[in-house]
Structure 1
């Protein structure tokens, strides 16, 4: 390039034309001669006396030659670098290494990043032999200034981070040894703090792929000693970085901690008590990390015991061993709340970290936490100091998730009156935390709430919905939501016709609806919390509330109608209004599903008019909820729903083709199935457009894979509805189903295995619907040509080592349907030994419903095969 300096500067020009021309010039240079362009950028970065902005831009552009978020593009960029002439590459690398020794900080720092990108490409392939010796010399030589040592350690840290991100697994041990040696040398106690900080940061990044070193005790001791010494630095940033390393070790090398736990316990607990907040946060994070590891190990041990297999990894119960000290330390740390409390802020502070850690401790040690934490709660929950009142309440809420209800229940029983009183505390933070704690109690230990306090509890929460700030009102709505959920499986209500919430349903619903109209309802998720509470109250209401819900339905429909006249001047206004529309559609869905079908027709026209108006807005964020509400109406209206299809069909097809918003597409697919079951052959005039959209969705590579199993199943719903009318769509449907059935199962990718099992369920449901539909329409003969391939698919499922019995249950049902629909002509196929083997295996491993299916299928097949 003739004038790279000017071009780089022009990339920063405020003039769009100049900037775009400069960017295009750089892109053209990269494409026309990659090697020359890379060399020119390196020279621009390394040349002393150049404008520092230009040098920095050159380094950033060089780095971007090798970096991409998308994996295939990343590989392409790396390949372009490796395709360069070796001599040219060596020259560029030497230039970059020299730039790390620049007297200018910006140039050194940028060169460190550029070198790291090259190292990430070459080191895994044992290239660039000069890299580590040069960096080692920079760090250990007395001739190099501290600034160069810092940039060098930055380079090592960047390199480790990039190699780890690229998930390169085969790093040469000599390479990691060399990098680690340089880093540990930089973290030595006799080094200046800025050097130690860079070294500690680099060490944290290197821990991702230094397992060989950590497996060797002598090297592990050396690494841990260096880190522990760094926790005693006079510089808080160095101490913070050292504790970050300790957290990383706890996460990656839990099984290697035994020799160091006494030291780590002493260091971290002292740091939590005495050190600066940024350091104490990392010390708390160490214990949070240990808790998460031990929770996983305890669960793993449980599954091993239940499956009668050996336990491969032991839980060392470090958290339980530290509980007597750690519990009180965390509770006193809860009193270090932010001075400037603001419920709108979500600033991570030491008190929040302590609460999170205490929750994890509770989940780890379960019942044992109660005796350690509750003395603090009981002593301070009525303290004159608001900090201790709030901390005691937060401590209580933090441990609710661990102990059994039997252990913590008596404390919950005693706490309700105190917490209700605290809802009127003088300090907002105490009120906020008290409301949150009541919500957690309602979620986790509702049975421990005394019956006699129930009225006071409901009225106390309701009284805070309109009068308090949004945070406290939101927490109160959350508590009411959880209280409603407690009646989800209330068999007694079905017998008696009422439950404990029934007397309060009217006031609660009325008050919560008022909350959704508050001017500050956007704050602290208040509006959403109120709608969630209303939805739960409706969903789990007792039968005696039915007349009230019938009166509420037109009110909610009218509220939805009113949203169409709200003026949206900004995108924010539009999004807010669509959010409200989505929430109202959700309430309509819940109400329609809850109310008896006989009461829906008088309101159906009004409901559908409003839902269709929601669907008219292109790219609205509430289409998913509108389709779900439509599905509820369809479910209750059954065959009468057909009158809405002429107006609905265009929007339904648009939803089926909404491949980008795949949740909308998925709900639309489900709605098609609901409509097909409800109106049966009346759906036939719309099948061309619907089937075209469904086939397009299967062919679209960008559609989220979770949508494809229900699409396949939907073929069966339509076929069952239209019977012989499915003939025009049979060939393309069967082609798609056959193709999906051939998807091979991987050995060890659980996510893909789950998806393929879902895909197979969709395929089997479709086959079942199609054969039943063709049988009903007297055209089962059309199915004959596909039978050999289907039987081969079923035999494959039967022979798989890792069988999914949900899939096999549907396979058993399909075999019965084939026998029932096609009779004696399919006797040769059904006489195959795999058929009886599949039914027997599925019966032995299935639930009662599956066993009934197997018995029915076996009986039908035996009749055919006589």
Structure 2
């Protein structure tokens, strides 16, 4: 018969008949033993038949395919089918084989799987049964069943066979004296796969068997793997039912809706951590699995989850009694997990009620609570962005996010970055991609960018994920920026990049100049705001590129004069630019210092001068004096008159605002005097000429020390002055005067009248060193 099959000279129909006859003979169990038991006979059959899988007539090859599958069904269970498998694999994988050969090989594999699966399933089920005493065999059998589930759909269509398979799995998952955790875990894995593959067949088992088993599994305390797999079972059910509801697929049993009332309390309990450590992002644990399942349950059951959730939150977060951080964290996570489920209208009042508590928790003393609050705030922004529509609420949210950005925990900072990204996306002021004038986030753009850039310095530079999130947050802010906030973004970048911004300096300063020139032609409120921004940008460029700013000074200085004639905010910015030029690049600013002096004197002579300008002007005199150095001498008498007039200003101690203003004036006076001291001290002649003014001014300072309470800024200014006087004049100034002032400052600090900050203490230590070395 084999010779007939292999003889290509014969008619195809004859060869096909011979092939069918041999297949039918082998298919009979008694014949199988008789024919294939003899190794020589089997070798002859295989040698003739296997090459025919590559024969060209497809109808002949189809018969050969069935014949080889029958041979495999006999040999493979006996461990003797390696040659068949090797031939099939080679026919598929060897590139030189034509398409028809590969198709026949794949067809043969399909026949083999179909013919062997029932026998294999019988063996697997037999090894899984309760009567099997060897636990190792049971575990291997359950794992084999797991790998076979895709191929036994026909068996699941038969009620008796399906019942038996489910019973075997549930028996293996149920704890008993002869069971092990490994066996139970393998069985739960099987159940989850059954749920994903055969949802439509589960109705008869969900009301009792599977429901009780998985609910008990979630309450398991001996092994976390069983808890995780039990949670995964219900996550799978919810996932399937969410999809079926969307696609209107039948059957739809609503297992989640029916079981939710029992599952929710269990999930709430599982959200509560049993440890204090922060998990890694990729570490899947019970609280994370419970949160994920809760989110799916909410998406599936919608508003049904809200009443139990409210009770849980009220008990664990909103109660007036002291609640452990574990409960507070769980309640916050629970709220964040369900936001994607119920309708936005249903959730709106609940979000408004709970949001203030969530925002407050971002400052909680416990890092777990802060992280949970930051995550839930992000979920609120993603799922219920209408909360951002109220300006007061948006302000509170942005403030909380900035608190999160500055958190000591990198995880909290990372989560706050994600909140920024979603906030920027949800508040996109121009969905049509047109650049508009302003938007809800415009007023916060600069401060957010600054926080993000500051935050990038504290992150672990080796942690690519966290650094990437910071830059993505910055990119989101820039992407959705409006016209009014773009310069603020640029300003933050200039400060952060420092001298690295030099390559863009000409483009930036052209922008500054063009806007300042335009502002002289157009006078309106929006232009005034824009001018403020570009002037601040100019100041940032001065500080960032230092001496390289020289080529822009001559063009910028005339603009300063124009600013000094504007409203007090622009005038204040103009004073700031003069200070930056004189303090950062004094040798470059020196030729323009006389003009600066004149602008400042004109400003102070204005009877309607806004009072915020007076301290800034006084302080700026010091920067100009430092830049001019000995050449400031002609202005000394004028300056001392101005300082004397300012020193005569007294405050009503019942007026806190006036007290703060007078304190600021005194700080500015000392800063102006220190600038003159440092500038004139560069030459022996001017230093000697200025000495009488030093002695007189020290008497005034002594009166401040023995007076009422002072701000920390004023203490720092006084101490800095004492150090400079001792350093520049040495024994030309009575040491007793310096020591007297220092002594009075220290005594007032020790008595508690003045509380020195750490920075003030550092300046005090520095100020005392020169005095010790006076001859």
Select the structure of larger CA radius of gyration.
2
TM-score, normalization by structure 1: 0.44
TM-score, normalization by structure 2: 0.49
